[in-house]
Structure 1
Amino acid sequence: MLDVRRMVVLAAVIDSGSMTAAAEALNYTTSAVSQQLRRLEQEVGQPLLQRLPRGIAPTEAGVVLADHARRITRQLAAAEADLAQVAGLRRGRLTIGTFPTVGGSLLALAVSRFRTAHPGVRLTVHSARLEQLTQMLDSGEVDLSLLWDYAWNRVDPDAYTLTHLLDDPTMLVVSADHPLADRKRVAVADLSAEEWVVREPDHPVAEVLDRTCRAAGFQPRIAFHANDYQEAQAMVSVGLGIALAPRTAVTNHHPDVRVIPIGSTAPARRILLARRRERVPAPAEAVMVRVFTEVADLYQRSQRPSGPPTVGHASAD
């Protein structure tokens, strides 16, 4: 394989007209230039320069190789310029994985902030279930992904570099005319007589309900299995039952339901930002991690009683 550095030396000698001038331009010694040219001639198997009484002249092979060297030099310079653009976040691409509830409550604000600051970077977002998100991370289909987990099914920290954005507490959802609607806080142990609206049996929040109620000493009575959180809220709003949901799923809730904290009587999930551990993060990834951290902090502050909600929700994890 030809040595590109030696090709560049050849082009410099031909362009300057002498080995001495080329050596000065390249910050080499003249003997080093001569040695590089001899090795290059050995690589190509034919002479590249004619030594004349007054200087040198390229052979036909030397002219061909020098032309390629000049094109390569221009391409390398263009590559350096493009990399500088990417490093400066003036161009490039970033692909993010997300899941619906956090996509509505955190992602939209993060994307808006990032695009405003770095409009030259193309953002692509894929929304999927947790298993699909980790598969996309593993295959490189996404650069970063929002993930979630509970204490009993932690995301593998050896597989991914994880940034913990926030803890997403489980909330109680009741109809606006429910006897508990005006309560500031409710304990799950007080809900043993209630009927429940819950997501499909294999959905994580169904396991949250089962674990929470068993820990409180009762088995929940299921009135309805909902396909998404919007349907669950609609059924709660007409009194079919009460429900549990992550706070991010009910940030902007149905007008005829009330969302009540239940504290540590139900498990919270972690919201995480993940990338493959072995990857070297691109500049855009590092900036997006910082943006998500800031947005998560803003979201948590907006959910405190003194602060009005500032970000929305989506309906189906």
Structure 2
Amino acid sequence: MLETDALRLLVTVAETGSFTGAATRLNYTQSAVSRRIAALEQQAGGPLFERLPRGVRLNPVGQALHRHAVDVLERLSRAEQELTVIHAGHGGMLRVGAFATANISLVPKALRRFGHTSPDVEIVSVEGRSGTLMRHLTEGALDLAVVSDYPSGLPSADGITTEVLLEDELLVALRRDHPLAGSGAIGLRDLRDEAWIQDTYGDRPTMLADACARAGFTPRKIIRIAEWTGKFGYAAAGLGVALVPSLAAWAVPAAVTLCRLDDPALRRTVHLALPATPLPAALNLRDALHDTIN
């Protein structure tokens, strides 16, 4: 194996044209340079320099190794520069995960703010459910994630730290001409005859089911729609009503109105999740998220 220091010495001797010049530039003794070049020539299988009356010059074998040495040293230099930038939080790649409604406004606004201060950081965005995002963090596939405790609690993950970003109230989406659309805060029991548009969580317990039970009824019908555009479409057509986080308000179409509900428990907590040793760029984005909220 050729050592990096030996390759750097080879290049320096070639540039200065003498062992003495290389020793002076690298703060070595001339005898140390001679020994290290001799060891390198042994590894290379033969002489690398022609010994001249005044100094040395590369022979064909030395020229071949010199080309590779220059390439290796340049690559290492670029790697060191890139690592320095990453450690300073000003470059490299940052893999950011978020659940769907966080990607409507919260995360994009924070990324825009972050981009003004760290324009050379490459952002890779991943959308998914909170449990999946937490798993990706533990696997090292994400550097930061925005997650939620809705619908069934904040997923736990070994080695991941979380902090609260905000409390997100759950509103009800109604067709704009719905009789209750202008009523202010709506009693959940007043919606007992409505069909409810929900995600495709199957039989998992949900916040809506618990709230309806507290209000003394069971939803008469559940319509399973996975995407928010579909939920809004069904609500706009008057086919049902849906719980909508306030984070999603920006994306609600004109044919739908959002109303508050009288159950204070209908809210979720949005968290920021980071690995135990986060990248500096991830900490900078954390600050941008807090600034966006404030």
Q: Calculate the TM-score normalised by the size of structure 1.
A: 0.70
Deviates most, 158-167 or 229-238: 229-238
How far did residue 158 of structure 1 move? 1.6
Give the direction of change, closer, same or farther, for the CA distance of 1:205–1:199 in structure 2 (3 Å limit): farther
Secondary structure of 1:109's partner?
helix
Q: Which residue of 1 aligns with 2:38?
A: 38
Q: Does 1:23 pair with 2:23?
A: yes
Deviates most, 284-293 or 232-241: 232-241
Contact 1:175/1:181, CA 8 A, preserved across alignment: no
- Calculate the aligned-residue CA RMSD, in Å: 3.9
Q: Could you report, residue by residue, the CA deviation over 1:209-255 in whole angstroms, capped at 9, with x for unpaired residues?
A: 112233x2634223341514555556656776654332223456455
Give the direction of change, closer, same or farther, for the CA distance of 1:131–1:258 in structure 2 (3 Å limit): closer
Q: Could you report, residue by residue, the CA deviation over 1:260-314 in whole angstroms, capped at 9, with x for unpaired residues?
A: 1545333x32323334546x52x5433322222222x24xxxxxxxxxxxxxxxx
Give the direction of change, closer, same or farther, for the CA distance of 1:91–1:258 in structure 2 (3 Å limit): closer
Q: Could you report, residue by residue, the CA deviation over 1:143-177 in whole angstroms, capped at 9, with x for unpaired residues?
A: 43332224953222424343432222333445665
Q: Which residue of 2 aligns with 1:4?
A: 4
Q: Could you report, residue by residue, the CA deviation over 1:13-65 in whole angstroms, capped at 9, with x for unpaired residues?
A: 23323333212211223343334223323433434446566544545433433
Q: Which runs of 5+ in 1 are unaligned?
A: 299-317
How far did residue 100 of structure 1 move? 2.2
For 2:285, give the aligned amino acid: M
How far did residue 69 of structure 1 move? 2.4
Give the direction of change, closer, same or farther, for the CA distance of 1:66–1:233 in structure 2 (3 Å limit): closer
Instruction: Tell me the distance in 2 between the aligned counterparts of 1:114 and 1:93.
Output: 13
For 1:287, give the aligned amino acid: N
Q: Which residue of 1 aligns with 2:107?
A: 107
Give the direction of change, closer, same or farther, for the CA distance of 1:259–1:57 in structure 2 (3 Å limit): same
Give the direction of change, closer, same or farther, for the CA distance of 1:192–1:265 in structure 2 (3 Å limit): farther
Instruction: Tell me the distance in 1 between the aligned counterparts of 2:74 and 2:233.
Output: 63
Instruction: Tell me the distance in 1 between the aligned counterparts of 2:269 and 2:207.
Output: 13
Q: Does 1:76 pair with 2:73?
A: no
Give the direction of change, closer, same or farther, for the CA distance of 1:102–1:222 in structure 2 (3 Å limit): farther
Q: Does 1:218 pair with 2:249?
A: no
Q: Which residue of 2 aligns with 1:288?
A: 285
Taking the TM superposition and a 5 Å limit, the aligned residue runs for 1:210-289 are 210-214=209-213, 216=214, 218-227=216-225, 228-229=227-228, 232=231, 243-250=242-249, 253=252, 255=254, 256-262=256-262, 264-266=264-266, 268-277=267-276, 281=279, 283-289=280-286
For 1:101, give the aligned amino acid: T
Q: Which residue of 1 aligns with 2:156?
A: 156
Instruction: Tell me the distance in 2 between the aligned counterparts of 1:225 and 1:211.
Output: 17
For 1:221, give the aligned amino acid: P
Instruction: Tell me the distance in 2 between the aligned counterparts of 1:45 and 1:275.
Output: 51
Contact 2:94/2:124, CA 8 A, preserved across alignment: yes
Instruction: Tell me the distance in 1 between the aligned counterparts of 2:262 and 2:229.
Output: 20
Contact 1:199/1:205, CA 8 A, preserved across alignment: no
Q: Calculate the TM-score normalised by the size of structure 2.
A: 0.75
Give the aligned length: 291
Contact 2:130/2:155, CA 8 A, preserved across alignment: no
Instruction: Tell me the distance in 1 between the aligned counterparts of 2:70 and 2:231.
Output: 66
Instruction: Tell me the distance in 2 between the aligned counterparts of 1:15 and 1:253.
Output: 67
Q: Could you report, residue by residue, the CA deviation over 1:112-149 in whole angstroms, capped at 9, with x for unpaired residues?
A: 32334444444343333445545654665554333222
Instruction: Tell me the distance in 1 between the aligned counterparts of 2:202 and 2:70.
Output: 61
Secondary structure of 1:265's partner?
coil
Secondary structure of 2:156's partner?
coil
Give the direction of change, closer, same or farther, for the CA distance of 1:272–1:31 in structure 2 (3 Å limit): farther
How far did residue 199 of structure 1 move? 0.4
Give the direction of change, closer, same or farther, for the CA distance of 1:173–1:203 in structure 2 (3 Å limit): farther
Contact 1:145/1:274, CA 8 A, preserved across alignment: yes
Give the direction of change, closer, same or farther, for the CA distance of 1:48–1:204 in structure 2 (3 Å limit): farther
Secondary structure of 2:260's partner?
strand
